Amino acid sequence: MQSIMSSTTRFTTRASTQPITMNRFTSHFSQPKLIAIFLSAVFLFAANSSWAQGKAHFSLGAKLDFSTWKGNNQNGASFEDKSSMLGLEAKVQHAKWFGGLTLSGGKFEFDTTAPTRLTNPLAASSEPVSIKRGEVDLILGYRVWPRIALFIDIKNVTNEWSIDGYKVEYTGIGFGISGHRPVSPEWTLFGNFGVVPMNIKADGNDVGDAVRTALNAGFLYRINHRMNLSIGLQNQFQTDDYDNGSEQTHEIGSLTIGINAAL
C-alpha cells in the first residue's frame, strides 16, 4: 500500500555471531503460505462476535500506474525506464475492520543499463533487457480513529527476465498507516505510508534482505453512491542488501488512476 530510508534491526544469538535480520522471518513463508496466513486471519476476525453482527461491504476496482523505475546497481551504474502497470483490487469492510487484495503487473524495457542480477549475470551485450514485474498485496487493517487506520501488508514482488525466465522474488510482512479527510461532498483527500522488510530470493535461493518504504497521496472523487474515481501519486523506495556485502537501490514513482465500485 502503497516509500524515507530504513534499516533492518539485527539480532545475534549466543550460538552464533552471524547477524540475523528480521527479514529472515519472512524467508520461511512462500507466497501461498502468506495467502493462507492472511485468509486465516480474516476467518478469525469473521468468527468474532463483533464482526459477525452487522453487514460487510465489498467492492471491486481497477487501476493504471504510469510508472518510472530507476535505481543504482552494485557497481554504481544507474538504470531507468518508464512503463505502465495494470492492477485489479478487491476490498471488504466491516465496521472498523477492512481487508483487501491487489494484483498488479507490467513490463519494463531497459534499452541501455538494466538492474543487474546477483547470480547468473547477463552478458554485457544483452541490452535491451525486458523485465516483467508483478506485485501482490494482502492488506488487513483497523480504523483506530474515524479518519486514521493502521494496517498490516503482506507483500510479494516478482521480477522476471524475459530472455531466460530468471526470477528475483521479494516477500515480506510490513505495516502502515492511512488517513483521509473530506474536502467537499464529492472530493476526499487520502494518503498512506508503509514499511515492509523483505527476504530476497534469486532463482529460489536466498541472497539477501531488503526494506521497502512507500508513500501514497491523492484525491478520491465520488461519482455516485456506488462508484469512486481516484487519482494520486505514489513513491516506493527500496534498498537491497545482499549477503555478499553489495547493495542495490530501486525507486518507483507512479501517477495512479483508479476506479472502484461497491457490490
The tens digit of pLDDT for each residue in 6-31 reads 333 333 333 333 333 444 444 444 45
Complete domains list, the chain, with CATH? 19-118+127-262 (2.40.128.100)
pLDDT of residue 44: 52
Helix (H, G, I), strand (E, B) or coil at 74: coil
Instruction: Tell me the residue type at 179.
Output: G
Q: Return d(Cα 107, Cα 261) in angstroms, integer.
A: 27
Q: Name the nearest CA neighbour of 57 among 213, 222, 226.
A: 226
Please write the tens of the pLDDT for every residue from 99-142: 999 999 999 999 889 999 989 888 776 778 999 999 999 999 99
> Which whole-number Å values give the CA distances from 116 to 34, 39, 75, 242, in the listed order?
28, 35, 9, 12
Q: Return d(Cα 129, Cα 84) in angstroms, integer.
A: 16
pLDDT of residue 41: 54
Task: Tell me the chain's radius of gyration from C-alpha atoms.
Answer: 19
Helix (H, G, I), strand (E, B) or coil at 128: coil
Q: Which residues contact 13 (CB under 8 A, 6 or more apart)?
A: 20
Q: Return d(Cα 39, Cα 136) in angstroms, integer.
A: 14
More confident: 96 or 51: 96
Q: Return d(Cα 218, Cα 228) in angstroms, integer.
A: 13
Please write the tens of the pLDDT for every residue from 222-250: 999 999 999 999 999 999 999 999 999 99
Percent of the chain with pLDDT over 70: 79
46 pLDDT more than 60 = no
Can you give the pTM of this predicted structure?
A: 0.80
